């Protein structure tokens, strides 16, 4: 479904990603880990279409990834993912309003009620049934991310991109959210790309783990080389030693 061939991304002289080759099949759940600033979000932006590749190709079903965000690729960011001026319910129905009302982006009458029923169902499936009239600032961080997920799924994207979606949440809440994402992934048959800074999350969630890291490093010119995918592992087939090795690479113990 998705394929990268010798993909490079530079910002000016700064090489962020280099020599990325990969193939992803429909329905995979990929978690991505790597040190902060190594280019994980940049990779998601390439998939989104807000950034373009400097070299190489990134294709979706054999065609280059569109150079604009679109309906087929939903996204949840760590923050700013929901619209602060809309209630929980409106945050979800607005997606249908965009679909049916090209000029104003507003729904009326039966179209509106239909969108609201659909949105309520989606909100119930992420555990927000009782909060539909509240504004995002009245929600906890976890509830806000649940809303962002419901919103991202309402137009039924094939691909769901998650950029450290639980990074700001407490560990207890994070476990609930992981369950939620897994169940939605199965239910909606999504292909998921999830960035996380929690290696455990990467190791036990989903079907495949990518570790982004630099294989070449020049202390005189830290930006001369970019990160690439150094480990591409099927989840569930990893041993303790490998876990510790990767953990060590990402969080070097200070000497």
Partner 1 sequence: MKRLVNLSPSRPWALLLGLIPLALVLALYLAGSDARLTENPNDKLLPSLEQMSSALDRMALQPSKRSGEYLFWTDTAASLQRLGLGIGIAAIIGLLIGLLTGALPAVNVALSPLLTVFSLVPPLALLPILFIVFGLDELSKVVLIVIGVAPFIARDLQKHTLEMPREQLVKAQTLGANSMQILFRVLLPQIMPRLIDAVRLSLGTGWLFLIAAEAIAATDGLGYRIFLVRRYLSMDVIIPYVAWITLLAFLLDMALAWLSRRLYPWHHKGAAS
Binding site for ligand ADP (CB under 6 A): 11, 14, 16, 34, 36-42
Residues 70-89 that bind partner 1 (CB under 8 A): 70-71, 73-75, 77, 79-85
Contacts of 68 (CB under 8 A, 6+ apart): 49, 50
What's the closest the beta carbon of residue 177 comes to partner 1, in angstroms? 16
Nearer to partner 1, 173 or 250 (CB): 173
Examine residue 102 and tell whether it contacts partner 1 (CB under 8 A).
Answer: yes
* Gap between the Cα atoms of 81 and 102, Å rounded: 22
What's the closest the beta carbon of residue 111 comes to partner 1, in angstroms? 15
Examine residue 78 and tell whether it contacts Mg ion (CB under 5 A).
Answer: no
Pick one of 13, 36, 62, 104: the residue that binds partner 1 (CB under 8 A).
Answer: 104
* Gap between the Cα atoms of 192 and 179, Å rounded: 14
Contacts of 11 (CB under 8 A, 6+ apart): none
Residue 152 and residue 75 in contact, taking contact as beta carbons nearer than 8 Å: yes
Task: Identify which range of 54-62, 116-124, 134-142, 244-252 contacts partner 1 by CB under 8 A.
Answer: 134-142
Pick one of 36, 137, 172, 220: the residue that binds partner 1 (CB under 8 A).
Answer: 137
Pairing of strands 159-163, 63-64: unpaired
Quote the tokens at residue 198.
């929690």
The total of other beta-carbon atoms located within 10 Å of residue 32's CB is: 25
Residue 210 and residue 32 in contact, taking contact as beta carbons nearer than 8 Å: yes
Nearer to Mg ion, 32 or 131 (CB): 32
Interface residues toward partner 1, by CB under 8 A: 48, 50, 68-71, 73-75, 77, 79-85, 94-95, 97-99, 101-106, 135-138, 144, 151-152, 154-155, 157
């Amino acid at each position: 479904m998705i394929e990268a061939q010798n993909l490079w991304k530079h910002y000016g002289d700064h090489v962020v990603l280099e020599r990325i080759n990969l193939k992803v099949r429909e329905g995979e759940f990929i978690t991505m880990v790597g040190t902060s600033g190594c280019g994980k979000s940049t990779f998601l932006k390439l998939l989104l279409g807000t950034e373009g590749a400097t070299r190489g190709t990134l294709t979706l079903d054999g065609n280059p990834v569109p150079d604009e965000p679109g309906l087929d690729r939903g996204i949840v960011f760590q923050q700013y993912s929901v619209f602060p001026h809309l209630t929980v319910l409106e945050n979800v129905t607005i997606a249908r309003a965009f679909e049916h009302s090209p000029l104003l982006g507003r729904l009326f009458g039966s179209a509106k009620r239909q969108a609201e029923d659909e949105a309520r169902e989606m909100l119930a499936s992420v555990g927000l049934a009782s909060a539909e009239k509240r504004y995002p600032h009245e929600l906890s961080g976890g509830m806000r991310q649940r809303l962002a997920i419901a919103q991202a799924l309402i137009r039924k994207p094939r691909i769901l991109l998650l950029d450290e979606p639980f990074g700001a949440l407490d560990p207890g809440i994070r476990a609930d959210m992981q369950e939620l994402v897994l169940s939605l992934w199965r239910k909606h048959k999504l292909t998921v790309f999830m960035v996380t800074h929690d290696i455990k999350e990467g190791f036990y969630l989903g079907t495949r783990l990518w570790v982004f890291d630099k294989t070449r490093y020049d202390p005189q010119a830290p930006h001369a080389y970019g990160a690439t995918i150094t480990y591409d592992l099927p989840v569930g087939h990893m041993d303790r030693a490998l876990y510790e090795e990767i953990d060590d690479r990402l969080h070097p113990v200070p000497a």
